[in-house]
Structure 1
């Protein structure tokens, strides 16, 4: 979970005197959405590839006003970075230290590969989405309902939350699904969605969709 294990160092950070044309080629070579910029060893920000395409004759210093300012601190966790990928619509995040010096980067492919190993995404079984009034929400209770019916609880995501209700999507084993449904309803939950097939194609699709939902939340 610590990002140090996923940092790569082959993507260079560029100086403010680098031309947008040169920077664009770097972005294309690595197939990244952004390039990173420094000035006298201090991280300045990230320039999107589209901005480079529109300003090929300028240098990166001239594009400072258009830079996205995002990064992650060395020593953070993978989950700290997940939100940044979605917020800035990027596939690469710079890693900096407390002095704002570039330490390397983490790529979305590396994060997705790691998250795909989590039981919520890797285990076969049922996907079940339930809704409960926010005042009654308890993840402990949700897990207990599954396990009290001899089901296995592999993990859950809060996929929607507002002042009125909370929706939770969980990955559970295929045992005693009808009993689990009935128990949730008896405890006041609404069954919003259930997906019990194990066909590989549908499982992969569902994992991707809920990964996206996790990022959005």
Structure 2
């Protein structure tokens, strides 16, 4: 999960003296949303490929006032990248040292590849979103409810705070799902969403199927 283990170095950072046209062509060739600019090895900022496409001829130094100053430190964590990808609408983030020296980059594909290894995303199971007043919220209780029904938790996280209500999203194994629903409700949790077919729903589907066959006679 540490950035230093995922640094790629095949995408160059450009010097301020390099041409806008050259930087734009390299960005298009790699399929990345931004180029990175350095001066004497020190990171200066980033420019979007789309902005370069619309810029007049010249060198990158002429666009200095448009540099976007976003980056990750090489001792950071992958989770730190998520907000930057979203905020700057980018698919690539520069990695720098504490002295602001450019070291390489980290792409959104790296994030997907890493997260895909975790049970939260890789395991097949049920997805639940439960909600309760924040003063009654306890992750310990949430886990106990699932595990007391002989199911496994593959991952859980707080997905939102709405007024004084907290929502928790859980990825769990598919055992005893109806019992888990009922236990959550018994402990004051509201099951906001559930992405699976519980036993009652299956029964209704079966009965509806029989009804359709009956009507066809």
Do residues 39 (structure 1) and 45 (structure 2) align? no
Q: Which runs of 4+ in 1 moved over 3 A?
A: none
Match of 1:192 in 2: 192
Aligned position for 1:130: 130
Could you tell me how far apart the structure 2 residues matched to 1:169 and 1:144 are?
Answer: 15
Q: Is 1:119 aligned with 2:128?
A: no
Question: What is the RMSD of the two structures over their aligned residues, measured on CA atoms?
Answer: 1.1
May I ask how many residue pairs the two structures share in their alignment? 197
Q: Where in structure 2 are the equivalents of 1:202-217 lying within 5 Å? A: none
> 1:139 and 1:48 mapped to 2: Cα distance?
41
Matched with 1:2 is 2
> Secondary structure, in 3 states, of the residue corresponding to 2:63?
helix
TM-superposition CA deviations, 1:52-105 (whole Å, max 9, x none):
011041321111211211100011111111221111111111000011000111
Report the alpha carbon displacement of residue 108 of structure 1 after superposing the two structures with TM. Answer: 0.6
1:43-192 equivalences under 5 Å are 43-192=43-192
Q: Which runs of 5+ in 1 are unaligned?
A: 198-217
Pick which of 133-142 and 8-17 moved more.
Answer: 133-142
Deviation at 1:157, TM superposition (A): 2.3
2-side partners of 1:142 and 1:119: how far apart?
18
- Given that 1:184 and 1:190 are in contact with CA atoms closer than 8 Å, whether structure 2 keeps it comes out as yes
- 154-163 or 111-120: bigger deviation: 154-163
On the 8 A contact 1:19/1:56 being kept in 2, the answer is: no
Distance 1:106 1:50 in 2: 20
Instruction: Measure how far apart 1:42 and its partner are.
Output: 1.1
Equivalent-residue separation in structure 1 for 2:92 and 2:134 (angstroms)? 35
How far apart in 2 are the matches of 1:46 and 1:163? 37
- SS state of the match for residue 76, structure 2? coil
How far apart are residue 138 of structure 1 and its match? 1.6
Q: Aligned pair 1:19/2:19, yes or no? A: yes
Contact 1:33 1:90 (C-alpha < 8 Å) held by counterparts: yes
TM normalised by structure 2 equals 0.88
- TM-score in terms of structure 1 length: 0.88
